[in-house]
Chains A and B, each alone.
Chain A
Amino acid sequence: MNENYSDDLLRTVLKRTKVIACIGVSTNPIRPSHYVARYMGLRGYRVIPVNPVYAGEELLGEIVRGDLSELTDETVDMVDIFRRSEAVPPIVTQSLSLLPALQTIWMQIGVCHAEAAAEAEAAGVTVIQNRCPKIEYQRLFGELRKGGFNTGIISSRL
Chain B
Amino acid sequence: MTDGPNYGFDTLQVHAGARPDPATGARQTPIYQSTSYVFRDADHAAALFNLQEVGYIYSRLTNPTVAVLQERIATLEGGVGAVCCSSGHAAQIMSLFPLMGPGCNVVVSTRLYGGSITQFSQTIKRFGWSATFVDFDDTDAVAAAIDDDTRAVFCESVSNPGGYVTDIPAIAAIADKAGLPLIVDNTSATPYLCRPIEMGATLVVHSTTKYLTGSGTVTGGCVVDSGKFDWSQSDKFPSLSAPEPAYHGLKFHETFGELAFTFHGIAIGLRDLGMTMNPQGAHYTLLGIETLSLRMDRHVANAKKIAAWLEKDDRIEKVTYAGLESSPYAERAGKLYPKGAGALFTCAVKGGYDACIKLVDNLEIFSHVANLGDTRSLIIHPASTTHRQLTEEQQEAAGAAPDTVRLSIGIETVEDLLADLDQALNKATAA
- Digitize A126-140: 1 where CB-to-B-CB distance is under 8 Å, 0 elsewhere: 000011100100100
Q: Is the CB of B55 within 8 A of A148?
A: no
A contacts with B, residue count (CB < 8 A): 34
List CB contacts (< 8 Å) of A35-64 with chain B.
35, 38-39
Instruction: Find out whether the CB atom of B2 lies under 8 angstroms from the CB atom of A30.
Output: no
Against A, the Cβ 8 Å flags (1 = close, 0 = not) of B223-254 are: 00000100000000000000000011110001
Q: Are A150 and B266 in contact (CB under 8 A)?
A: no
CB of A15 within 8 Å of the partner chain = no
Contact A138 B54, beta carbon cutoff 8 Å: yes
Please, which residues of chain A bring their CB within 8 A of the CB of B52?
A: 35, 38-39
* Bound-complex Cα distance A2 to B68 (A): 26
Instruction: Determine if B66 and A148 form an interchain contact, defined as CB atoms under 8 angstroms apart.
Output: yes
Please give, as numbers and ranges, the residues of chain A lying within 8 Å of B248 by CB-CB distance. 30
A78 to B147, CA, bound (A): 47
Min CB distance B57 to A, Å, is 10
In the complex, A110 Cα to B254 Cα: how many Å?
7
In the complex, are the beta carbons of B54 and A144 less than 8 A apart?
Answer: yes
B11 x A154 contact (CB < 8 A): yes
Complex contacts, B79 vs chain A, CB 8 Å: 150
How many A-B pairs have beta carbons closer than 8 Å: the answer is 119
B158 within 8 A of A: no
Q: Render B121-138 as a binary contact track against A, CB cut-off 8 A, 1 for contact.
A: 000000000000000000
Q: How far is the CA of A146 from the CA of B259 in the complex (A)?
A: 13
Known: A131-B257, A143-B55, A147-B62. A157 touches B20 (CB 8 A): yes
Contact, CB under 8 Å: A147 / B74? no
The reply to whether the CB of A8 lies closer than 8 angstroms to some CB of chain B is yes
Q: Are B54 and A146 in contact (CB under 8 A)?
A: yes
* Most B Cβ at <10 Å: residue of A6, A7, A147, A158: A147
Write out the residue numbers on chain B whose beta carbons fall within 8 Å of the beta carbon of A158.
19-20, 22, 25
- Closest A residue to B5 by beta carbon equals A154
Given A35-B47, A149-B259, A30 contacting B250 (CB threshold 8 A)? yes
The residues of B that contact A130 with a CB separation of less than 8 Å are: 257
Q: What are 22 A-B pairs with beta-carbon distances under 8 A?
A: A29-B50, A32-B255, A38-B52, A110-B257, A131-B257, A135-B257, A138-B54, A144-B259, A147-B54, A147-B81, A147-B263, A148-B67, A149-B70, A149-B262, A150-B16, A150-B74, A150-B75, A152-B2, A153-B2, A153-B4, A154-B11, A156-B20
